[in-house]
Structure 1
């Protein structure tokens, strides 16, 4: 995107985002930054930062200050819109099943492998769940002769049934 570029409000995946979140994406594009570069600057991981851009996680005031500096956004505007009185709308996934091809394949993966993963979790840990609170998610690229591979990892805390 060029300097001053904007994202059309009806463009997926931005269609249902508040204007301040769209402004984050626009500023990121204008600066030519990756989520990883932003994450390193605010001492978070890249998946968490991307989720916060989508309104699924909440920046601290300190993170908002640094983010405003990195993205060249007015700090008071950013803090006013995403500060202490704003709360994430977690889990707003859009249509189910998803229509975006990448999201659909992730959904498909959970639908196909979910019961097997659940069975293995129970075998290894007992009756319980993997918490998404304080869950670390990583996306890595692994070269392969047949074509690059995507490696997704969810690093979540096990919570026995008796704890939830």
Structure 2
């Protein structure tokens, strides 16, 4: 890489990471275990939503046989969010739909329990697990965010 070589975009790096992960037969959880990081955070970081340390970026690139351009991209601060095509994905849309339906109720319950404030999405953890159920396995998503009260 030279000083005149453009930095690989987060989305281009994510495409290379996804392809390498699939071709190597690695799960997101296996990559997270190798890095010693949470699976949801790791997956989000590798898809461009969080910056990685130089050590994490170099380690994952060695694991996936990716070059220094990908590691450089992984260290950058992201522009967080999703584009229109991502939002149209059925799995992602179900989360949007669930928040449209239950968001106002969750807001009321948070205010009733904690007072005037919000749940942080910065000081935040998220986890996904499977729960067996006779009627079909259940997806359990846990949002764990610090309560931030409004102050004057």
The answer to whether the Cα contact below 8 Å between 2:10 and 2:74 also exists between their aligned partners in 1 is no
| Residue correspondences, number | 144
Residue 50 (structure 1) shift: 1.4
Partner of 2:121, secondary structure, is coil
2:66 aligns to what? 73
Q: Select 2:20's aligned residue among 16, 27, 31.
A: 27
Given the alignment, which residue of 40, 48, 52 partners 1:47? Answer: 40
- 1:82 partnered with 2:82: no
Using the size of structure 2 for normalisation, the TM-score is 0.87
The DSSP-based 3-state class of the residue aligned with 2:118 is strand
Deviation at residue 96 of structure 1 after TM alignment: 8.9
State the Cα distance separating 1:94 from its structure 2 match. 1.9
Please name the residue that 1:137 is paired with. Answer: 126
Query: How far apart are residue 117 of structure 1 and its match?
Result: 0.6
> Residue 97 of structure 1 contacts residue 107 of structure 1 at CA under 8 Å; is this kept in 2?
no
User: Which structure 2 residue ranges, 5 or more long, are not aligned?
Assistant: 1-8
Whose RCO is larger (CA < 8 A, sep 6+)?
2
- Which structure: greater strand fraction? 2
* Greater share of residues in helix: 2
Q: Cα RMSD over matched residues?
A: 2.0
Q: Write the distance in 1 (CA, Å) between the matches of 2:115 and 2:31.
A: 38
Cα 1:96–1:122 change in 2 (3 A) is farther
> Gaps spanning 5+ residues in structure 1: where?
1-15
- Residue by residue, what CA displacement relative to the aligned partner does 1:21-50 show, whole Å, maximum 9, x if unpaired? 111111111111111111111111111111
TM-score by structure 1 length? 0.81
